[in-house]
């Protein structure tokens, strides 16, 4: 049996004494928290986490001003560079004292950062490889464009890192000399020195000296280090340094780190005040890296002050801030813009509107709808009633709903929208439906040449997510400082406000109107009724938002309390008709964390979240509407066609497990399968409608994509995603649906 050569054994043993390797081992032993700060970036870019929601795309193909370009990659590189520097600073503050040989260098932090670059370097290499693949596949970029983009990313990383080292040069060399010159000229007393900072850093340095391997009591296990990227040198002896000298070096370094942390935090706060300038909005991936940067810098700052008590102090402060502060993200909720929050009075949530009156009013609307759809050459003809249910699903469902209905309506020469009496649904689907309905109204009024066009589709498909992430990163996570006025009332600016402003800008101000503006067109049957149904977080029921009275939808079986609420009735004293329609759409699409929950005025406090929590397909609302007007429908129509807009899914019982899925199961499975759970529960509803309208009810689905053409749930679409959506309209099933509608809506 052959033994290993001596030189190989020595090499293996020597690896443990190489500074970069030693730092990696010490992260596992002493500072897992700093090491874990890299976990999310690695999970996101590899798609191991968040791929279903399009998070991977936000990092790998960043977007700036509506397109994936070199500027977007440059900003992402700068933000990544900031996180790398924060990682080096946090590591240096927490771990550098364990390796006192670095005080021998003229640039101790630079040498430390160089040897601490194994993880950042691995991330950068992985990012470049996966991003190149992603750009080619999902953004259809050429090889030349990919090279330019990735070069801009690397440039951003390098520029930020070198600017940071330049900052330390100014703090260490230039600023002290400048201050000294001023003191000599104006004779400022040394008593103005920041004594508290000196005391804190001196105390921290003293604690670290007690832990450091100095004076022969302990031994530093590092023998070799990287002097430069391509040079390795021995650490050398440092026994001639006294503890006082070590202490002074560490103290100065921590003062410099403290200055850098405060400088960056001030920049972030100032940058966070800029929300309404599209040219200054960072890509979403860059914004997320800034969040991590701030968290790491704050951790290092707290470590300088509190030492080993840092973790306890941070959690204590988070608890106290979350409990007492009225401004932080964990406590505040957004407002319904246009409604009056100055009124302080209770709300009878169990009160209901006048069912009979609202039902008669809706019958009048349906009668006008019938007149519009009755053939002039046949007084006895009965039209088909079309009900549209638009599923939730972010921007993909918004675009698909508008594109599928608009395309079908154009092929049918306007017969589809003219036959539609009600539109309902959730989240993104209702955004697309609202956009289509507004264009239909403007077309009817002679203000638009067409209802459906490529230009309108492109407007709707523009990114919304980047400004939201930017605002969340720069201000929402901590505080809100700015406000704006709408309907002569003041509201805070936050990511909900940015969501609406971005959407409004993308759509050309078409939906920026109060709720009551749609009442007359609906009452005249110029446009279909639209009922938004955001979920009430308090009890899981629905809030009905419509420009006309729909209290009949809040009926409950005898003996049971009313849980569903009608906005215009229950909040009649809070100016519900002035509710901004963009806000109503946002309330219906309040995806957790992407948009803050909406707190309605009055008491008790009612909190509103995404309609998808309760009725993601709008089928419950459609069912209640059809049952309410069953007699009128049977007498005045030839039947009901329920059109559902959805994503094509495939039932697969094979469970693909992973460490993250195993950890989150079963709660994670419930969350990811929530739509499938709801769909199974809707099958009895559809079957029931077939019995309510025997032989006169049918449902058809316009669906896109498939198991091999998945589009993430997000407020951002790639070029590939858009291709999937637009090409799906020409699928066999969808073309068959259009042919059937041609025949049935004659």
Burial of residue 743 (CB within 10 Å: 0-12, 13-18, 19+) is: exposed
Q: Is the pLDDT score of 674 beyond 70?
A: no
Question: What confidence tier does 190 reach under pLDDT thresholds 50, 70, 90?
Answer: very low
> How far is residue 734 from each of residues 473, 641, 692, 728, measured CA to CA in Å?
41, 15, 27, 8
Tell whether 151 and 218 lie within a shared domain: yes
Question: What confidence tier does 553 reach under pLDDT thresholds 50, 70, 90?
Answer: very high
The pLDDT, as a whole number, for residue 370 is: 94
Token match 């309410």: residue? 628
Mean pLDDT of 359-372: 95
Mean pLDDT of 694-707: 88
Mean pLDDT of 502-508: 93
Decide which of 324, 346, 364 is a domain's last residue.
Answer: 324
Question: What confidence tier does 29 reach under pLDDT thresholds 50, 70, 90?
Answer: confident
Tell whether 512 and 432 lie within a shared domain: yes
Residue 344 covered by a domain: no
The pLDDT, as a whole number, for residue 435 is: 97
> How far is residue 488 from each of residues 500, 578, 584, measured CA to CA in Å?
18, 11, 18
Tell whether 320 and 367 lie within a shared domain: no
Tokens for 623, please give them: 């069912």
Tell whether 254 and 398 lie within a shared domain: no
Q: Is the pLDDT score of 212 beyond 70?
A: no
The pLDDT, as a whole number, for residue 180 is: 47
Whether residue 615 contacts residue 542, with contact meaning beta carbons closer than 8 Å, is answered with yes
Decide which of 285, 304, 324 is a domain's last residue.
Answer: 324
Whether residue 98 contacts residue 29, with contact meaning beta carbons closer than 8 Å, is answered with no
3-state secondary structure 66-102: CECCHHHHHHHHHHHHHHHHHHHHHHHHHHHHHCHHH
Mean pLDDT of 74-103: 84
- Using CA atoms, how far apart are residues 348 and 338, in angstroms rounded to an integer? 21
Residue 625's domain spans which residues? Answer: 355-373+383-649+682-744
- Using CA atoms, how far apart are residues 57 and 38, in angstroms rounded to an integer? 18
The pLDDT, as a whole number, for residue 366 is: 96
Least confident of 145-149, 278-282, 320-324, 729-733: 320-324
- Using CA atoms, how far apart are residues 439 and 62, in angstroms rounded to an integer? 31
Question: What confidence tier does 624 reach under pLDDT thresholds 50, 70, 90?
Answer: very high
Residue 239 covered by a domain: yes
3-state secondary structure 10-59: HHHHHHCCEHHHHHHHHHHHCCHHHHHCCHHHHHHHHCCCCHHHCHHHHH
Burial of residue 656 (CB within 10 Å: 0-12, 13-18, 19+) is: exposed
Residue 494 covered by a domain: yes
Q: Is the pLDDT score of 728 beyond 60?
A: yes
Helices (H), 170-283: 175-186, 195-211, 243-272
Tell whether 275 and 387 lie within a shared domain: no
Mean pLDDT of 58-78: 89
Least confident of 79-83, 458-462, 664-668: 664-668
Q: State pLDDT tens for residues 306-337.
A: 766 666 776 777 666 655 554 444 445 688 99
Which contiguous run of DSSP H or E holds residue 385?
A: strand 385-390
Least confident of 41-50, 377-386, 440-449, 613-622: 377-386
**Highest-confidence segment of 170-184, 238-252, 274-288:** 274-288
Q: Which residue has the higher pLDDT, 232 or 71?
A: 71
> How far is residue 207 from each of residues 97, 200, 311, 529, measured CA to CA in Å?
10, 11, 17, 70
Tell whether 575 and 618 lie within a shared domain: yes
Residue 667 covered by a domain: no
Q: What is the CATH number of the domain that holds 605?
A: 3.40.1090
Question: What confidence tier does 183 reach under pLDDT thresholds 50, 70, 90?
Answer: very low
Q: Is the pLDDT score of 179 beyond 50?
A: no
Tokens for 411, please give them: 């092929």
Mean pLDDT of 226-232: 80
Q: Is the pLDDT score of 338 beyond 80?
A: yes
Question: What confidence tier does 449 reach under pLDDT thresholds 50, 70, 90?
Answer: very high
The pLDDT, as a whole number, for residue 656 is: 56
Mean pLDDT of 384-413: 94
Q: Is the pLDDT score of 205 beyond 60?
A: no
Give me the chain's average pLDDT, please: 81
Mean pLDDT of 642-656: 72
Residue 161's nearest CA partner among 230, 197, 217, 109 is 109
The percentage of the chain sitting over the pLDDT mark of 70, rounded to a whole number, equals 76
Tell whether 106 and 40 lie within a shared domain: yes
Q: Say which residues have a Cβ less than 8 Å from residue 604's Cβ, sequence separation at least 6.
A: 346, 347, 349, 538
Residue 1 covered by a domain: no
Mean pLDDT of 21-46: 84
Sequence-ordered strand ranges (E) for 400-488: 420-425, 483-486
Q: State pLDDT tens for residues 704-721.
A: 987 678 888 888 899 999
* Cα first-last separation, the chain: 90
**Highest-confidence segment of 294-308, 359-373, 606-620:** 359-373
Q: Is the pLDDT score of 271 beyond 70?
A: no
Q: Which residue has the higher pLDDT, 545 or 202?
A: 545
> How far is residue 727 from each of residues 93, 461, 700, 724, 731, measured CA to CA in Å?
54, 15, 19, 5, 7
Mean pLDDT of 354-366: 94
The pLDDT, as a whole number, for residue 30 is: 72
The pLDDT, as a whole number, for residue 327 is: 47
Q: State pLDDT tens for residues 114-169.
A: 889 999 999 999 999 999 999 998 888 899 999 999 999 999 999 988 888 877 66
Whether residue 582 contacts residue 491, with contact meaning beta carbons closer than 8 Å, is answered with no
Tell whether 297 and 366 lie within a shared domain: no
Q: Which residue has the higher pLDDT, 44 or 257?
A: 44
469, 473, 474, 476: CA torsion to nearest 10? 90
| Inter-axis angle of helices 243-272 and 284-306, nearest 10 | 140
Total residue count of the chain as it appears in this document: 746
- Using CA atoms, how far apart are residues 564 and 551, in angstroms rounded to an integer? 9
The pLDDT, as a whole number, for residue 738 is: 94
Report CA 270 to chain centroid distance, whole Å.
Answer: 22
Q: Say which residues have a Cβ less than 8 Å from residue 110's Cβ, sequence separation at least 6.
A: 165
Tell whether 422 and 463 lie within a shared domain: yes
Tell whether 315 and 406 lie within a shared domain: no
**Highest-confidence segment of 128-142, 511-525, 665-679, 697-711:** 511-525
Report CA 133 to chain centroid distance, whole Å.
Answer: 24
Residue 137 covered by a domain: yes
The pLDDT, as a whole number, for residue 178 is: 43
Residue 290's nearest CA partner among 477, 158, 162, 50 is 477
Tell whether 435 and 316 lie within a shared domain: no
Report the DSSP pairing between strands 529-532 and 420-425.
parallel
The pLDDT, as a whole number, for residue 586 is: 94
The pLDDT, as a whole number, for residue 612 is: 83
Question: What confidence tier does 203 reach under pLDDT thresholds 50, 70, 90?
Answer: low
Residue 618's nearest CA partner among 524, 528, 693 is 528
**Highest-confidence segment of 86-100, 175-189, 265-279, 416-430:** 416-430
Residue 615 covered by a domain: yes
How many C-beta neighbours within 10 Å does residue 171 have? 18
Residue 329 covered by a domain: no
Least confident of 233-237, 657-661, 687-691: 657-661
Q: Which residue has the higher pLDDT, 420 or 51?
A: 420
Sign of CA dihedral 506, 508, 514, 515: negative
The pLDDT, as a whole number, for residue 412 is: 94
The pLDDT, as a whole number, for residue 181 is: 46
Q: Is the pLDDT score of 732 beyond 70?
A: yes
Say how many domains are in the chain: 2
Question: What confidence tier does 383 reach under pLDDT thresholds 50, 70, 90?
Answer: very high
Tell whether 550 and 688 lie within a shared domain: yes
The pLDDT, as a whole number, for residue 351 is: 84
Question: What confidence tier does 630 reach under pLDDT thresholds 50, 70, 90?
Answer: very high
């Amino acid at each position: 049996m052959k033994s290993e050569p001596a030189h190989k054994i020595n090499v293996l043993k020597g690896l443990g004494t190489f500074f970069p390797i030693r730092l990696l081992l010490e992260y596992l032993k002493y500072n897992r928290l700093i090491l874990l700060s890299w976990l999310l970036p690695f999970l996101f870019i590899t798609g191991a986490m968040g791929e279903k929601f399009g998070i991977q795309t936000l990092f790998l193909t960043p977007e700036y001003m509506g397109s994936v370009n070199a500027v977007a990659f440059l900003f992402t590189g700068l933000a990544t560079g900031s996180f790398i520097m924060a990682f080096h600073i946090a590591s240096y503050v927490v771990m550098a004292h364990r390796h006192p040989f670095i005080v021998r260098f003229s640039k101790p932090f630079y040498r430390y950062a160089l040897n601490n670059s194994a993880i950042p370097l691995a991330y950068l290499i992985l990012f470049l490889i996966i991003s190149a693949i992603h750009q080619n596949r999902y953004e259809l970029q050429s090889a030349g464009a990919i090279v330019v983009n990735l070069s801009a990313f690397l440039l951003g990383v390098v520029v930020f890192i070198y600017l940071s080292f330049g900052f330390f040069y100014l703090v260490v060399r230039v600023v002290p000399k400048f201050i000294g010159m001023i003191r000599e000229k104006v004779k400022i007393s040394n008593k103005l020195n920041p004594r508290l900072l000196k005391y804190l850093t001196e105390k921290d340095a003293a604690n670290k000296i007690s832990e450091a391997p100095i004076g022969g009591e302990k031994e530093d296990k590092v023998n070799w280090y990287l002097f430069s990227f391509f040079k390795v040198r021995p650490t050398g002896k440092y026994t001639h340094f006294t503890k006082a000298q070590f202490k002074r070096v560490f103290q100065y370094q921590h003062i410099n780190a403290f200055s850098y942390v405060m400088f960056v935090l001030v920049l972030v706060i100032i940058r966070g005040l800029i929300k309404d300038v599209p040219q200054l909005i960072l890509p979403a991936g860059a914004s997320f890296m800034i969040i991590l940067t701030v968290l790491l810098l704050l951790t290092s700052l707290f470590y300088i002050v509190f030492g080993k008590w840092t973790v306890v102090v941070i959690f204590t402060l988070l608890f106290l801030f979350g409990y007492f502060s009225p401004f932080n993200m964990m406590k505040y909720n957004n407002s319904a813009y246009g409604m009056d929050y100055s009124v302080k009075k209770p709300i009878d949530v169990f009160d209901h509107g006048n069912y009979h009156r609202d039902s008669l009013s809706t019958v009048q609307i349906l009668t006008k709808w019938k007149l519009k759809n009755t053939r002039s050459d046949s007084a006895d003809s009965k039209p088909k009633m079309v009900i549209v249910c638009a599923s939730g699903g972010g921007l993909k469902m918004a675009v698909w709903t508008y594109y599928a209905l608009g395309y079908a309506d154009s092929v049918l020469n306007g017969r589809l929208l003219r036959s539609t009496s009600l539109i309902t649904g959730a989240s993104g689907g209702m955004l697309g439906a609202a956009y289509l309905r507004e264009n239909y109204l403007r077309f009817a009024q002679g203000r638009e040449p067409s209802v459906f066009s490529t230009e309108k589709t492109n407007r709707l498909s523009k990114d919304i997510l980047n400004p939201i992430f930017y605002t969340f990163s720069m201000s929402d996570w901590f505080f809100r400082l700015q406000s704006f006025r709408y309907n002569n009332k003041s509201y805070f600016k936050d990511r909900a406000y940015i969501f609406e402003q971005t959407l409004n800008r993308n759509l050309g101000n078409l939906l920026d109107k109060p709720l009551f503006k749609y009442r007359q067109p609906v009452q005249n049957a110029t446009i279909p009724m639209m009922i938004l149904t955001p979920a009430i977080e308090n009890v899981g029921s629905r809030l009905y938002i419509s420009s006309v009275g729909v209290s009949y939808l809040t009926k409950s079986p005898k003996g049971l309390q009313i849980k569903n609420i009608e906005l215009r009735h229950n909040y009649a004293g809070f100016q519900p008709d002035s509710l901004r329609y963009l806000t109503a759409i946002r309330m219906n699409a309040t995806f957790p964390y992407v948009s803050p929950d909406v707190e309605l005025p009055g008491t008790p406090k009612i909190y509103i979240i995404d309609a998808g929590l309760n009725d993601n397909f709008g089928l419950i609302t459609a069912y209640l509407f059809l049952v309410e007007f069953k007699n009128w429908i049977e007498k005045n129509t030839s039947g009901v066609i329920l059109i559902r807009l959805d994503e094509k899914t495939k039932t697969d019982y094979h469970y693909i497990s992973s460490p993250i899925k195993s950890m989150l199961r079963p709660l994670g499975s419930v969350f990811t399968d929530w739509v499938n759970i709801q769909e199974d529960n809707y099958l009895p509803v559809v079957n029931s409608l077939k019995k309510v309208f025997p032989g006169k009810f049918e449902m058809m689905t316009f669906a896109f994509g498939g198991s091999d053409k998945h589009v993430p749930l997000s407020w951002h679409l790639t070029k590939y995603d858009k291709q999937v959506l637009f090409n799906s309209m020409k699928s066999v099933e969808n073309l068959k649906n259009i042919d059937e509608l041609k025949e049935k809506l004659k």
